[in-house]
Amino acid sequence: MSVLDNKKISFIGGGNMAQALISGLVGCGIKPNLITVADPSSDIREQLAAKGLNTVDPMADAKSAVVGADIVVLAVKPQMMKVVVGAFADALDNQLVISVAAGLSTDLLSSMLGGYSNIVRAMPNTPSMIQMGATGLYGTDNISAEQKELATAVMEASGLVMWVDNEEHMHAVTAVSGSAPAYMFYFIESMVDGAVALGLDKEQASALAMQTMLGAAKMAMNSEDTPAELRRKVTSPNGTTQAAVESMQANEIGRQIGEAMQACYDRSQALSEEMSK
Beta-bridged to residue 96, according to DSSP, are: 71
12 is in an annotated binding site: yes
In a 13 Å sphere around the CA of 84, the CA atoms on its Cβ side amount to: 24
Residue from 77, 12, 73 nearest 271 by CA: 77
Query: 21 in helix, strand or coil?
Result: helix
CA distance 151 to 173: 17
Q: Would you say 76 is a known binding-site residue?
A: yes
77 has binding-site annotation: yes
Query: Does 17 appear as a known binding residue?
Result: yes
Residue 75 assigned as binding residue: yes
Residue 18 near residue 37 (C-beta atoms within 8 A): yes
- Do 37 and 55 form a contact (C-beta atoms < 8 A)? yes
Annotated binding-site members: 12-17, 75-78
Annotated binding-site members for NADP(+): 12-17, 75-78
